A and B are shown apart, each in its own frame.
Chain A
Amino acid sequence: MKRRKAGPSGVVEAPLDVRTQALAKEEERPSVKDGRLKTYEPGDNAARFLDLLGRRVSRSLAVSLTACVHCGLCAESCHYFLARPDDPTMTPVWKADQVRKIFKRHIDWTGRIAPWWVKAGTVRNDEDLNRLKNIVFGTCSACRRCTYNCPMGVDTGLLVRFTRGLLTELGIVPEGVFNVSRDQWETGNQMAVTEQDYLETLEWMRDELRTELGTDAVDIPVDKKGCDVLYTINPREIKFDPRSIAHAAKIFHVAGESWTLPKWGWDQTNFGLFSGDDKLGAFVARNVYEAAERLRVKRIVISECGHGYRSTRWEGYTWAGYDQKLPTESVVVTLKRYLETGRISVDPSRNAEAVTFHDSCNIARSGDLVEEPREVLRRVCADFREMFPNRRENFCCTGGGGLLSMAEYRPLRLEVAKIKADQLRATGAKLVCTMCHNCIDGLADVIKHYKLPMRVVQVLELVSNALVVPAKSEK
């Protein structure tokens, strides 16, 4: 058996790249100038890291750091290790140990007196921090599959986010993370969509929908007060594919829903989840909650997005220190309600191709929705089939944790996507349905790279396809 030397496998050795940070400083970008967005500064970053670590460790993280018994059961639950079984640095336990050893050395007990005995270690300089950056941003999608397979309940997924947060505070992040954080701080959305672009796109979709349905009664309202539903979306829908907005608007119209989008606070996605920056997370989530208050709605509905759902429905309230007042749900739950109460009718034969469902990590493992999308799909599709494993044991699409914004880690991501590709292929389905925009791109990359004869769809699209629009005379 080969004895591997301890250390990163070398498969992700991206250098510390601060070009766009330097540019942002030069351009005096507001989020950099006022310090909301941290940049890399030369100096004793290792000491700053250790200080942050000590101040920020919470009780549940402390027990995750101390409870690991090095049993190795987590190894085979991780798609990184399953695809690279000769590489121990791909195991959750090894990755967690890279920050655990620092905790043992500086905060725990035995490691402070006899570090070598418990394999405690430290970070000494920027190179060490950069190496840690590559590990926590580049070799893990924070899918928490390992968490679910640990007999001690160690939450490696959460440890990875925590470590990312420390590095983000020091500006030691992949360029993509810096750029997207900057955009979300300054424009309120992850893709730097301007208010004008946002409003014009909504008008465009409204006009196309009116043409399609042949009626001016359908609308895409913005900032309408006193409605039942506040609909929040993913900026990707505005920038690249607004069809999903049209689908939602059509369904709301047929269901007779009273709804609106907000002018500000419409972005349900949240890069703070990926960068580990609770402050950014709080800012974005609060925009949504305050929009709901401002417009006096009764319910917040979140369009299909995994990390957006987890951030807006769950984490955001805690980050923002904001007590939840209104029901906050995924649009899939809204659709399920419409179907069950007969507010919309559907014809499943319109979705004839075989469909399988991919469970998004942030919705299933870190959230509550597993049966709901299936109940919708069974009503709107003629041939629904499961992939295996499924539900909370499903595998990450491989594009999670913000990896899609980090080009330097793409080769490894596609390599370990073999696990997902095999899983998809075994279903024999033509369509894979998911409730998450990141999963759409993650799965699309897997499909393209492994040449699978499939395409990715979302629940809204399938429901919209199957929607029976009543003739005008019936309305």
Chain B
Amino acid sequence: MPHIEIEGLRIEVNEEGFLSHPEEWNEETARLLAKAEENLDELTAEHWAVVKFIREYYLEKNLAPMVRKMCQATGFPLMKIYELFPSGPAKGACKVAGLPKPDGCV
């Protein structure tokens, strides 16, 4: 199984960089995923607002939220989500929030 090694810690991810075991996610994992996959050295309060919303939505509904919901919940316009997570809401924000890879040609 592929993995990323960062700051001495080893996280198991699938080939696309998404967490292999979503249930193992915690804030430290999020920080490390953001660094390794999105080149984000630190996560600001704005990043966390998005990540926390996604995480809670996923735990409740077992689905990735639509980007519209992310924008509504956080109050950020779509442009802002892309500024915070360069890979976008699916490949960037959802990945950092520890979700499994969404289906589809994405």
Q: A and B: direct contact (Cβ < 8 Å)?
A: yes
Chain B 61-102, CB-CB to A under 8 Å as 1, else 0, gives: 000001110011000011100000001111100000000011
- Asked if B5 lies at the interface with its beta carbon under 8 angstroms from chain A, I say no
Task: Determine whether the beta carbon of A236 is less than 8 Å from that of B66.
Answer: no
Q: Which residues B1-45 have CB closer than 8 A to chain A?
A: 14-16
Task: Determine whether the beta carbon of A180 is less than 8 Å from that of B68.
Answer: no
Task: Determine whether the beta carbon of A404 is less than 8 Å from that of B106.
Answer: yes
Task: Determine whether the beta carbon of A180 is less than 8 Å from that of B78.
Answer: no
Distance, CA A437 to CA B104, complexed state (A): 12
Say which one of A64-72, A142-150, A197-205, A366-374 lies at the interface with B.
A197-205
Task: Determine whether the beta carbon of B88 is less than 8 Å from that of A240.
Answer: yes
A405 with B103, Cβ < 8 A, contacts A240-B90, A241-B78, A411-B15 known = yes
Q: Which residues A437-458 have CB closer than 8 A to chain B?
A: 437-438, 441, 444, 448
Task: Determine whether the beta carbon of B67 is less than 8 Å from that of A242.
Answer: yes
Query: Inside 8 A of B72's CB, which chain A residues have their CB?
Result: 204
Chain A 234-245, CB-CB to B under 8 Å as 1, else 0, gives: 011011111100
Q: Which residues A188-213 have CB closer than 8 A to chain B?
A: 190-193, 197, 200-201, 204, 208
Query: Inside 8 A of A438's CB, which chain B residues have their CB?
Result: 105
Task: Determine whether the beta carbon of B105 is less than 8 Å from that of A402.
Answer: yes
Task: Determine whether the beta carbon of A183 is less than 8 Å from that of B104.
Answer: yes
B103, B104, B106 — most chain A CB neighbours (10 Å):
B104
Distance, CA A448 to CA B17, complexed state (A): 12
Distance, CA A271 to CA B88, complexed state (A): 23
Distance, CA A200 to CA B65, complexed state (A): 13
Q: Please give me the residue from chain B that is nearest to A236 by CB atom.
A: B106
Contact of A242 among B78, B90, B102, B105 (CB under 8 A): B78
Contact of A197 among B15, B68, B79, B103 (CB under 8 A): B68
Query: Inside 8 A of A407's CB, which chain B residues have their CB?
Result: 14-16, 101
Chain A 32-76, CB-CB to B under 8 Å as 1, else 0, gives: 000000000000000000000000000000000000000000000
Contact of B68 among A192, A200, A408 (CB under 8 A): A200
A241 with B103, Cβ < 8 A, contacts A407-B14, A408-B15, A411-B15 known = no
- Asked if A179 lies at the interface with its beta carbon under 8 angstroms from chain B, I say yes
A242 with B104, Cβ < 8 A, contacts A408-B15, A410-B16 known = no
A236 with B68, Cβ < 8 A, contacts A241-B78, A241-B88 known = no
- Asked if A8 lies at the interface with its beta carbon under 8 angstroms from chain B, I say no
Query: Inside 8 A of B105's CB, which chain A residues have their CB?
Result: 180, 190, 236, 269, 271, 274, 402, 404-405, 437-438, 441
- Asked if A176 lies at the interface with its beta carbon under 8 angstroms from chain B, I say yes
Task: Determine whether the beta carbon of B67 is less than 8 Å from that of A241.
Answer: yes
Offer 27 A-B interface pairs, CB within 8 angstroms, sorted by A: A176-B103, A179-B103, A180-B104, A180-B105, A183-B104, A190-B105, A191-B104, A201-B68, A204-B71, A204-B72, A208-B78, A238-B66, A239-B90, A240-B67, A240-B106, A242-B78, A243-B78, A269-B105, A274-B105, A402-B105, A404-B105, A405-B105, A405-B106, A407-B15, A408-B15, A411-B15, A438-B105
Residues of chain A having any CB pair with chain B under 8 Å: 176, 179-180, 183, 190-193, 197, 200-201, 204, 208, 235-236, 238-243, 269, 271, 274, 402, 404-405, 407-408, 410-411, 437-438, 441, 444, 448
Known: A402-B105, A404-B105. 10 other contacts (CB 8 A): A197-B68, A201-B66, A201-B68, A208-B78, A236-B104, A239-B67, A240-B67, A240-B90, A240-B106, A405-B103
